[in-house]
Structure 1
Amino acid sequence: MEKIVILTGAGISAESGLGTFRDEGGLWAQHRIEDVATPEGFARNPALVHSFYNARRVQAAKAQPNAAHQALARLQRDWPDEVIVVTQNVDGLHEAGGSQDVIHMHGTLAGALCSSCGHRWKSAEQMTPADPCSRCGRPTVRPDVVWFGEMPYFMDEIYDHLSGARIFAAIGTSGQVYPAAAFVHEAIAAGAQTFELNLEPSTGVLHFDNILTGPATQTVPKWVDDLLKRR
Structure 2
Amino acid sequence: MNLNLADNLIEDSWQLHQQLAERLSNSVSELLGLDTTMSCAIVERIDGCDFLDENVEIVFCQIGLPPIQGELILAIPRRLSFWIVSQLLNYSDVEEIGNRDLTKVEQISLMQFVNLIVVNLSEEWQQINSEIHARFDTLDVMGDELASRLQTCEVMLVGIETIVSQNIIENLWLCYTEDFVLTIQTEQERKREELDRQSRLRGDVRQDLVSTLEIVLESYTTRIESRLDQLEAKLDRVIQDG
Per the shorter chain, which TM-score range?
A: under 0.3
In proportion to residue count, which structure has more helix? Answer: 2
TM-score by length of 1: 0.28
TM-score by length of 2: 0.27
Q: 1 or 2 for the larger relative contact order (CA 8 Å, sep ≥6)?
A: 2
When Rg is computed on C-alpha atoms for both structures, the one with the higher figure is 2
